Amino acid sequence: MARVAVLDDWQGIAEKLADWSVLRARAEVVFFRNAIATPDDLVQRLAGFDIVLAMRERTQFPAAVLQRLGELRLLSFTGARNAAIDTAAATAKGILVCNTAGRSSHATAELALGLLLACARRIPLGDARIRTGFFQDGVPPGLELAGRTLGLVGLGHIGGRVARYGKALDMQVIAWSQNLTEARAQELGVTRVGKDELFARADAISIHLVLSPRTRGVVGAREIAAMKRGAILVNTSRGPLVDQDALLAALDGGRILAGLDVYDIEPLPPAHPLRIVPNAVLTPHLGYVTETNMAAFYRASIENVLAFLDGAPIRVVNPELLAEDA
């Protein structure tokens, strides 16, 4: 009987959000709730499993790990792409890689809006003060967003939705990315500007880019230094898009505010300085984590395994492996 490892079930929701009974009739299914800290731990935990279901980019599968997973035959991940998996190394090892295709762009865009409002109106601080016996004392006045400028770094599906939210709040919306065209900006009623102008002009900035070698560190010390005092930086994309040291310095100095859902290291270590930094609202990478998205992810993951066991795999990322077997 096949053995299936379901990784990264950090919230303990996987078994509740999908019907695993058909798969359990054909395979042993084991759920892993805790993050696996080191490559050695990962290899040890996955010994004896020939199928692994991974959640997005929570667990890293570099070549050095894949080479040590001698029994692994199928590695399925949720979402359309996963930079944490060395697909070329998996192919070389004979491991089939599958995805679950895309997800709703609403979820992350809505969280970005929530973080923006939470920062602007100091909502978490107000909540904390009330719960500890205080009221308005210790809570600074908030920032009214209407009439302010929202800068978007990236104007794809998610950035486009956030642009619409900004316009609904009567904000002026400007945008920049390396690939942004005038036609795309005009389609959304957004003003396309240069990168330097965006960081100097915006009262709030929200990042919506895919992490790649070209975008890593795209928001660096120079960009953060150019931001207005009291401006808000929201990141629901990937932590390494932003220079963390420069961000920490700006937050420590009270120059800016930040709403962060993503980090260089996830889960965020207990002693990480972001946990105690002022002027920041932190969420634990919840951008895509809605009941709708997660249920769809797990249903598709089960479909991938069943199709694989039937000898007719679906949603294959490395189809060249199938060609070799044909």
3-class DSSP state of 34: coil
278 pLDDT above the threshold of 90: no
Clarify whether residues 81 and 119 are in a common domain: no
pTM of the model: 0.94
* Across 117-144, average pLDDT: 96
Query: What is the distance between the alpha carbons of residues 107 and 145, in angstroms, rounded to a whole number?
Result: 21
3-class DSSP state of 277: coil
The tens digit of pLDDT for each residue in 212-238 reads: 999 999 999 999 999 999 999 999 999
DSSP code of residue 140? -
pLDDT at 101: 78
In 116-151, which positions are buried (b, 16+ CB within 10 angstroms) versus exposed (e)? bbbbbbbbebbeebeeeeeeeeebeeebebeebbbb
A 10 A CB-CB count for 99 gives 20
Give the β-pairing of 204-207 and 232-235: parallel
Q: Contact 219/197 with Cβ under 8 angstroms?
A: no
Query: What is the distance between the alpha carbons of residues 230 and 60, in angstroms, rounded to a whole number?
Result: 36
Query: What is the distance between the alpha carbons of residues 110 and 148, in angstroms, rounded to a whole number?
Result: 19
Catalytic residues: 238, 266, 285
Q: Contact 302/319 with Cβ under 8 angstroms?
A: no
Q: Domain count for the chain, please give it.
A: 2
Clarify whether residues 166 and 269 are in a common domain: yes
Clarify whether residues 302 and 191 are in a common domain: no
Clarify whether residues 213 and 119 are in a common domain: yes
Clarify whether residues 120 and 43 are in a common domain: no
* Across 149-165, average pLDDT: 98
Tell the residue number behind the tokens 């359309």, with chain if given.
80
Q: Contact 4/53 with Cβ under 8 angstroms?
A: yes
Clarify whether residues 295 and 192 are in a common domain: no
Clarify whether residues 133 and 94 are in a common domain: no
Clarify whether residues 148 and 163 are in a common domain: yes
186 pLDDT above the threshold of 80: yes
Q: Contact 206/227 with Cβ under 8 angstroms?
A: no
Determine which helix (DSSP H) or strand (DSSP E) holds 185, and give its type and residue range: helix 182-187
- Which amino acid belongs to residue 23? L
324 pLDDT above the threshold of 80: no
Q: What percent of the chain has pLDDT over 70?
A: 98
Under the phi-then-psi rule, with left for phi > 0, alpha for psi from -120 to 50, and beta for the rest, what region is 118?
alpha
Q: In CATH, what number is assigned to the domain containing residue 57? A: 3.40.50.720
Clarify whether residues 305 and 268 are in a common domain: no
The tens digit of pLDDT for each residue in 52-106 reads: 999 988 999 999 999 999 999 999 999 988 889 999 999 999 999 999 976 677 9
Q: What percent of the chain has pLDDT over 90?
A: 94
Residue 307 belongs to domain spanning: 2-103+290-325
DSSP code of residue 273? G
Clarify whether residues 180 and 265 are in a common domain: yes
Clarify whether residues 303 and 272 are in a common domain: no
8 pLDDT above the threshold of 60: yes
pLDDT at 322: 86
Clarify whether residues 155 and 15 are in a common domain: no
The tens digit of pLDDT for each residue in 300-315 reads: 999 999 999 999 999 9
